[in-house]
C-alpha cells in the first residue's frame, strides 16, 4: 500500500508539472493570439473582439484554475499520506525531540514546533535553520542517484537525477528554499553535463527570478528571504570571512570550517531575524560550529533509516540506534548552550538602520577585492 501510494504520488507530481507548464504556455499563446486579432480590426470591432476574447479567456482560466486546484489537492493528499507513513515509522523507533529533528532534516516537517520547549532552545541557540530541507538535501539526493547510476555525463542519468530530486522537492512540500535549491542544482548539473562552469551568483539570480515570476508573492515570504540572504551571503562573504579567520586561527578542522560558514551566512541573515522576531542569538556562531558536522551525517543516515523502516522493518531498530548518536549530540549541545544567561538578546532593528546596514555591507566585498588585488600586484612587482 505504501509503495503504491509513493508511485501514485510520483505520477501525479509529473502530471502536475507538465500540466501547469502546458497550461501557462497555452494561456500565453491564447492571449497573444487574441491581442494580435484585436489590433487588426477597426476601433468598434476591436472593442467587441477584445471583450469576447477576454470573456473566453477568463472562462478558460476559471475552468483551468478549478482543475489545477483539484490536481493540487490530490497531489497534496498523497504527499500527506506518504509523509504520515514516514512520520509513524520514525516516531516508532526514535524518541522526541530526536524524531522531530530527523523529520525536519529529511522532509522539512514542522513537527518540531509542537515540542515548544525544544523549539525555543533552537531559537535561543540560533540553530532553528537546521530543521529544514535545504540545498544540501537536494545535492545529497542528486549525488546518491548519480553514484548509483555511475556517471553524470549521460543524458538519461542527468534527467533521472533531475526528476528524482523534483519528486523529493514535492515530498518536502515545495517550500521556497527547496525549490530554489532544486532550480540551482538543476542549472549547475546541466552546466557540468555540458562541461561549462556557471557562476554561482548568476545561478542564484536566475533561480530567484524564475520563482518570483511564477509566484510574485514570494517576495514577502520570510523563508524565501532568509534562504536567498543566506545563500548569497555564503557566496559573497565565505572567502572573505575565511581569510580573516585564518589570521587568528591557525588550526584547520571541521569546527573552523563550520564557524566560517556560520559567520558568513549571518552577515546578511541577522538583520532579517532581528526585524521579524525582535531577538538575536549571541551564541549562534559558536553553537553552529560545534553541531553542524552532525547535520550531513544525520541526514544521510536518516535517508537510509527511513527506507529501511518502510521496506525492511526488522532492520530499522538497529539502524535507529546508530542514527540516534549524531541526533543526540545535536540535542544535548543545543540544550546545554541554551541554558547560558543572555544567550539571545532582545533587539529589533529598524527599517532605516537595516537599509543602511545592507548598503554598507554589500560594498565591503568589492572594496576588499580591490585592496587584495593591489596587494597581490605590489607583492608580485617586488
Q: How far apart are CA 365 and CA 381, in angstroms?
A: 24
Residue 370 or 240, more confident: 240
The answer on pLDDT for 209 being more than 50 is yes
The string of pLDDT tens digits covering residues 58-115 is 343 344 444 445 555 666 777 778 788 888 888 888 999 999 999 988 887 888 888 8
How many other CB atoms are there within 10 angstroms of residue 121's CB atom?
21
The string of pLDDT tens digits covering residues 172-196 is 888 888 888 888 888 888 888 788 8
Residue 370 or 285, more confident: 285
The answer on pLDDT for 16 being more than 50 is no
Model's pTM, two decimal places?
0.70
| Vertex 203 angle, CA 200 and 208, to 5° | 125
- What are 110's three cell numbers? 514542522
The most confident of the ranges 4-18, 32-46, 333-347 is 333-347
The answer on pLDDT for 31 being more than 80 is no
What's the confidence (pLDDT) of residue 365? Answer: 67
What's the confidence (pLDDT) of residue 184? Answer: 87
- At residue 330 the predicted structure's pLDDT band, cuts being 50, 70 and 90, is very high
Q: Where are the beta strands (DSSP E) in the chain?
A: 280-281, 344-345
What's the confidence (pLDDT) of residue 2? Answer: 42
What's the confidence (pLDDT) of residue 169? Answer: 86
Sorted by sequence, the CB contacts under 8 Å of residue 91 that are 6+ apart come out as: 99
Q: Where are the domains of the chain?
A: 2-84, 117-349
How many other CB atoms are there within 10 angstroms of residue 97's CB atom?
24
The string of pLDDT tens digits covering residues 108-135 is 788 888 888 998 898 888 888 788 777 7
Residue 287 or 71, more confident: 287
Sorted by sequence, the CB contacts under 8 Å of residue 131 that are 6+ apart come out as: 100, 101, 104, 105, 112, 122
345 forms beta bridges with: 280
Q: How far apart are CA 104 and CA 70, in angstroms?
A: 27
Phi, psi of 235 (to 5 degrees): -65, -45
97 forms beta bridges with: none
Amino acid at each position: 500500500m505504501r509503495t503504491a501510494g509513493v508511485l501514485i504520488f510520483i505520477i501525479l507530481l509529473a502530471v502536475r508539472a507538465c500540466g501547469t507548464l502546458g497550461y501557462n504556455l497555452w494561456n500565453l499563446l491564447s492571449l497573444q493570439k487574441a491581442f494580435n486579432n484585436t489590433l487588426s480590426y477597426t476601433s468598434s470591432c476591436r472593442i467587441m473582439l477584445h471583450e469576447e476574447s477576454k470573456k473566453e479567456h477568463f472562462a478558460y482560466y476559471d475552468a483551468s484554475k478549478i482543475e489545477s486546484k483539484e490536481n493540487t489537492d490530490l497531489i497534496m493528499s498523497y504527499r500527506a499520506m506518504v509523509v504520515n507513513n514516514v512520520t509513524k515509522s520514525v516516531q516508532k523507533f526514535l524518541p522526541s525531540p530526536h524524531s522531530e529533528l530527523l523529520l525536519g532534516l529529511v522532509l522539512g516537517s514542522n513537527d518540531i514546533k509542537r515540542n515548544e520547549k525544544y523549539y525555543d532552545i533552537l531559537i535561543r541557540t540560533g540553530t532553528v535553520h537546521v530543521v529544514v530541507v535545504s540545498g544540501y538535501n537536494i545535492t545529497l539526493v542528486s549525488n546518491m542517484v548519480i553514484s548509483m547510476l555511475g556517471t553524470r555525463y549521460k543524458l538519461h542519468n542527468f534527467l533521472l537525477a533531475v526528476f528524482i530530486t523534483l519528486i523529493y522537492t514535492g515530498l518536502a512540500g515545495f517550500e521556497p528554499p527547496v525549490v530554489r535549491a532544486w532550480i540551482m542544482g538543476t542549472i549547475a548539473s546541466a552546466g557540468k553535463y555540458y562541461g561549462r562552469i556557471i557562476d554561482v551568483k548568476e545561478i542564484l539570480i536566475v533561480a530567484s527570478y524564475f520563482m518570483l515570476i511564477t509566484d510574485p508573492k514570494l517576495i514577502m515570504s520570510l523563508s524565501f528571504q532568509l534562504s536567498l540572504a543566506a545563500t548569497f551571503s555564503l557566496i559573497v562573504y565565505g572567502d572573505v570571512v575565511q581569510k580573516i579567520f585564518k589570521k587568528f586561527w591557525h588550526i584547520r578542522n571541521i569546527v573552523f570550517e563550520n564557524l566560517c560558514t556560520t559567520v558568513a551566512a549571518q552577515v546578511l541573515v541577522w538583520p532579517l531575524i532581528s526585524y521579524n522576531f525582535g531577538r538575536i542569538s549571541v551564541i549562534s556562531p559558536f553553537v553552529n560550529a560545534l553541531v553542524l558536522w552532525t547535520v550531513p551525517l544525520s541526514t544521510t543516515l536518516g535517508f537510509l533509516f527511513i527506507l529501511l523502516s518502510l521496506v525492511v522493518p526488522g532492520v530499522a531498530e538497529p539502524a535507529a540506534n546508530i542514527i540516534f548518536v549524531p541526533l543526540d549530540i545535536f540535542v544535548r549541545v543545543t540544550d546545554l548552550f541554551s541554558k547560558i544567561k543572555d544567550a539571545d538578546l532582545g533587539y529589533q532593528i529598524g527599517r532605516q538602520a537595516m537599509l543602511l546596514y545592507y548598503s554598507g555591507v554589500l560594498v565591503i566585498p568589492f572594496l576588499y577585492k580591490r585592496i587584495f588585488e593591489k596587494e597581490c600586484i605590489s607583492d608580485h612587482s617586488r
